[in-house]
Amino acid sequence: MKLKYTQRWVIKDKRISELDKQRIQLNKLTSMLYYQTKEDPQIFISLTTLEKRRKLMKKMQREIKKIYNSTQYLESFDELVLRDIEATVRKTIAEDDYFYNMKVNKPIGNFLSKVFGRAAYSRLLNMAKPENLDHKAIHKKYALLHSVLSRSLDSEIILERTTYSRLRGLLESQLNDIKKVVDSFYVSLGMLDKNPEYTIELAPSNIGFSYWEGHNFLMAIDPDKIFCYNKAGKEKEYIFNRAFAFVIGVHELAHGLEEKISENMPSGLRYAPETYNSLCHGVVTEGVALEVEKFFISWAKQHQNKYKFSKFDLDLMNYYIKSYIDEKVPWVFHDISELQEIERDYNPKLPEQFGIKAHKKLASVTRVKRYQKDYYLFNDREFSETLDQMIYIFGKEHISNLIEKIKKVIDIRSCEGKRLAIQAIATGFWCDAKAQEHFILEHYLPRAEKDGLIENP
């Protein structure tokens, strides 16, 4: 994948370079814990991993303090990196305090504020209220989708049963068309050269999500998001609705671009598969990918004829994007309420049923009395899953706000403006939302202006 424009940033201060290296080790340990809690079928947390991480956090805290106390001059970019490293340590300590450290007793709200910023719990509670959730968009999405879903075949039938093997080939042949549309979006923005090299595959059926695998240059599309059904009255003809898959493809390639664009940043702000963890990187990376979806929908409307998007598909994509986060909010709010309840009522001697009061509270905030999913999903969701959902919610909030600020500096209605805005937000795997904001407004955009990329600031 070749990019047309990137900026290279380096740390000048040796002490901060050293801390940046330590941060990589810290993120590696967090990522290892993530694998212990999530990927391994056994529920086992190594106290050795925790101890090593604590030791490193304390060491880094001391170093950070020393630098803040010294009178030595710091370049402002170095200062931002230091602030970002500090955030990595802060979020890691918050996780250790809430989930692992027996000596500390802090409420979940404290964890949320440390990881997602001030008053994160209240912000979440507010988002869950009916007036703040886009019920109309969700209704409209389902009004369209219902006619498709009620006729669709399960991906499992297509992919795993021999009687439908002809359809399997047809489903797979959709992938290249999806790639072409996705690539055209980034090429027409001028971010990429034609035909960027990566592989597009179907994710395993029933996995429930799509993903980007940076180290393998692989985009995997959830086959359940490509709807396949019989054409009315024609038993041998099938329709494939790919509206969601286009949006997903754009989202996943945005992740690929974040990795590529960040290659010229200091090593602690680059992507590496063994250091990536949602606790520290998720808010910015998912926020960016969600934001790019919005740019895609306006592009798709503009190029409706060229790429033969039907009005039905454009509406479907639009409501899919609009409702994506809102559909996550009540569920996440529930998980947090349940945690609060466990904090209050926890008695290790009792094999009690949690969650009853949390459900009442959820109903009183969202004005939906009972969620039928409840018994099967809510009680059993692991917190790591909740955290993964939360990074989308707070990621969207953060990056949307950031785009509003970028709009005051550049005109993002033009192609060049859009490209620059996307590149700016995708530069660096920042941990601290404010550090990223300062970087873009005070460093990235001024340099882009010097490079002649901003015409009328």
Beta-carbon-side half-sphere exposure of residue 186 (alpha carbons within 13 Å)? 33
Residues 454, 436: Cα–Cα separation, whole Å? 20
* HEC profile of 324-355: CCCCCHHHHHHHHHHHHHHHHHCCCCCCCCCC
3-state SS assignment for residue 204: coil
When the beta carbons of 286 and 291 are compared against Zn ion, the nearer one is 286
* Among 286-294, 339-347, 379-387, 411-419, the segment contacting Zn ion (CB under 5 A): 286-294
* Among 76-84, 89-97, 136-144, 280-288, the segment contacting Zn ion (CB under 5 A): 280-288
Beta carbon of residue 393, minimum distance to Zn ion (angstroms, whole number): 13
When the beta carbons of 155 and 389 are compared against Zn ion, the nearer one is 389
Q: How many residues bind Zn ion (CB under 5 A)?
A: 2
* Among 95-103, 281-289, 298-306, 346-354, the segment contacting Zn ion (CB under 5 A): 281-289
Beta carbon of residue 210, minimum distance to Zn ion (angstroms, whole number): 8
Q: Spell out the residues 6+ positions from residue 423 whose beta carbon is closer than 8 angstroms to its own.
A: 5, 6, 191, 261
Beta carbon of residue 378, minimum distance to Zn ion (angstroms, whole number): 23
Q: Give CA 106 to chain center in angstroms.
A: 27
Q: Which DSSP state fits 130?
A: G
When the beta carbons of 35 and 209 are compared against Zn ion, the nearer one is 209
* Among 279-287, 322-330, 408-416, 427-435, the segment contacting Zn ion (CB under 5 A): 279-287
Residues 362, 335: Cα–Cα separation, whole Å? 10
* Among 31-39, 144-152, 233-241, 284-292, the segment contacting Zn ion (CB under 5 A): 284-292
When the beta carbons of 90 and 396 are compared against Zn ion, the nearer one is 396
Radius of gyration of the chain (CA): 23
* Among 23-31, 36-44, 282-290, 426-434, the segment contacting Zn ion (CB under 5 A): 282-290
Beta carbon of residue 224, minimum distance to Zn ion (angstroms, whole number): 17
When the beta carbons of 183 and 258 are compared against Zn ion, the nearer one is 258
Q: Which of 137, 191, 289, 424 binds Zn ion (CB under 5 A)?
A: 289
Q: Which DSSP state fits 238?
A: E
Neighbours of 436 (CB within 10 A): 28
Residues 186, 235: Cα–Cα separation, whole Å? 37
When the beta carbons of 22 and 427 are compared against Zn ion, the nearer one is 427
When the beta carbons of 38 and 66 are compared against Zn ion, the nearer one is 38
Name the one residue in this structure whose structure tokens are 């230091």: 82
Which residues does residue 201 pair with via DSSP β-bridges, in sequence order? 220
Contacting Zn ion within 247-276 (CB under 5 A): none
Let me know: does 320 contact 285? Beta carbons within 8 Å. no
Beta carbon of residue 211, minimum distance to Zn ion (angstroms, whole number): 7
When the beta carbons of 141 and 281 are compared against Zn ion, the nearer one is 281
Beta carbon of residue 428, minimum distance to Zn ion (angstroms, whole number): 17
Beta carbon of residue 88, minimum distance to Zn ion (angstroms, whole number): 20
Residues 51, 121: Cα–Cα separation, whole Å? 29
Residues 319, 294: Cα–Cα separation, whole Å? 11
Q: In this chain, which residue has its C-beta nearest to Zn ion?
A: 289
Single-letter amino acid code for the residue at 246: F
Binding site for Zn ion (CB under 5 A): 286, 289
